[in-house]
Amino acid sequence: MKSIKIKADNLNVHYGEKQALFDVSMYMEKKQVTALIGPSGCGKSTFIRCLNRMNDVIDICKVQGKIEIDGNDIYAPDMQVEQLRERVGMVFQKPNPFPKSIFENVAYGPKIHGIAEHKSDLEEIVVNSLKKAALFDEVKDRLSDSGTSLSGGQQQRLCIARAISVNPDIILMDEPCSALDPIATARIEELMGDLKTEYTIIIVTHSMQQAARVSSRTGFFHLGKLVEVDKTETIFSNPSDQRTQDYITGRFG
């Protein structure tokens, strides 16, 4: 078995009175893509938001249980949340570049995290991040143009470049292609294949075909529970739980 990067144990999440996750336990392999699928409101986004403690900002959200990254409990009292978020980058459903230049979008993270000491270091990080996100060739002559002037697919790759600029080891992607056309989607999927040589990727997706194409393991969430997690091939050819089968074959939503 490949080594484990993230491990969740009996995770329970409440938003006020409402319980969003019930006893979720699963692991995610290092430098692999793990896909999370399930109908809207099933808890998959809540789950990945626990992985970088994004839920901390919601007052009524209460997280119980344990999440370990590289064996360290990320909800331990001495955990520095800023450092955690440096290691766990995130890309959202809708591309959300800052209303700044392409360069500034990518330079922002390294600046605030104090990663780059000199201007030349910063330039190097920006160029490398744009290259890794397969965007550099398309924008190299207009780095001072606004990030919002790019196409949707380019904006999403800019957000990926921004996420990797602070040198994380994990990238969380919450439906990163749902606002993109099939060509831009294919580019992001191809990019994920390249990125997993360096990063552990967790993707939430509503597209069954996308989960099947990009991931090595897939987890199916339903009503706040992790119904089944297995090799992607098994989930889509012969899942063990009837609910998984009904969902992936379009029998309930």
**Contact positions vs other proteins (CB under 8 A):** 208-209, 236-239, 245-246, 248-253
At 1, list the tokens: 């078995």
CA torsion angle for 206, 186, 100, 130 (degrees, to 10)? 130
At 92, list the tokens: 């959202």
Largest CA distance in the chain: 57
Our CA angle for 68, 72, 73, nearest 5°, is: 60
CB atoms within 10 A of CB 194: 12
Measured between alpha carbons, how far is 143 from 159 in angstroms, rounded to an integer? 14
Q: Considering beta carbons, is residue 25 or 237 the nearer one to other proteins?
A: 237
Least Cβ distance, residue 245 to other proteins (angstroms): 5
Least Cβ distance, residue 24 to other proteins (angstroms): 23
Q: Considering beta carbons, is residue 200 or 218 the nearer one to other proteins?
A: 218
Least Cβ distance, residue 48 to other proteins (angstroms): 23
In terms of residues, how long is the chain?
253
Measured between alpha carbons, how far is 154 from 145 in angstroms, rounded to an integer? 13
Least Cβ distance, residue 223 to other proteins (angstroms): 17
Residue ranges of E strands in 141-213: 170-174, 200-204
Least Cβ distance, residue 185 to other proteins (angstroms): 15
Q: Considering beta carbons, is residue 95 or 239 the nearer one to other proteins?
A: 239
